[in-house]
């Protein structure tokens, strides 16, 4: 079982960095627990080339900030969808990346999106206090979810 956690967002726009910050936190946890079957990656945005990156995984968990009216975070299953792309190709959705993976590599890893509620989007490199709290909740949840996927007893910390 190979799991990939892929965070994305803009670390120079306050809470837009939530996906990357979550991935960094998970990466430290993975290293501390020596979880060789979990990989972590992060980038400014999703790209069509990420379809190749996810093709080697059984489970992919995308992480991003959210401006939607949600409590603190939501965790949803993603299905392949070629229609979820913006005109410029600068905004590729996880569903579109998954659809490309299915079409190009004949693979469709079980995929999820964890959306973390953000509040501030200014040109700064720090998270808002509210976003920090949401990040902590999302991180704890995701560590428990990964441990469950792996059927491991792991220190969540």
Tokens of 134: 């949401």
| pLDDT tens-digit readout, 91-118 | 689 999 999 999 999 999 999 999 999 9
Q: How confident is the model at residue 83 (pLDDT cuts 50, 70, 90)?
A: low
For residue 48, give every residue at least 6 positions away whose Cβ sits within 8 Å of its Cβ, in sequence order, or none.
Answer: 89, 92, 96, 97, 100
List domains and CATH numbers for the chain: 3-150 (3.40.50.1450)
> Rounded to whole angstroms, how far apart are CA atoms 82 and 75?
21
> Rounded to whole angstroms, how far apart are CA atoms 99 and 106?
10
| pLDDT tens-digit readout, 145-156 | 999 999 877 766
Single pTM value for the model: 0.93
Strand order in the sheet with 73-78: 38-43, 3-8, 59-66, 110-117, 73-78
């Amino acid at each position: 079982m190979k799991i990939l956690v892929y965070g994305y967002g803009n670390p120079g726009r306050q809470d837009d960095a939530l996906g990357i910050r979550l991935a960094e936190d998970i990466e430290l946890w993975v290293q501390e627990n020596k979880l060789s079957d979990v990989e972590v990656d992060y980038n400014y945005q999703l790209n069509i080339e990420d379809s190749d990156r996810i093709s080697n995984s059984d489970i992919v968990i995308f992480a991003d900030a959210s401006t939607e009216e949600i409590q603190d975070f939501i965790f949803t299953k993603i299905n392949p969808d070629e229609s979820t792309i913006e005109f410029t190709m600068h905004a590729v959705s996880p569903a579109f990346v998954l659809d490309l993976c299915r079409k190009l590599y004949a693979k469709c890893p079980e995929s999820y999106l964890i959306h973390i509620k953000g509040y501030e989007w200014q040109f700064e490199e720090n998270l808002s206090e509210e976003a920090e709290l949401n990040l902590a909740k999302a991180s704890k949840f995701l560590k428990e979810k990964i441990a469950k996927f792996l059927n491991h007893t792991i220190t969540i910390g």
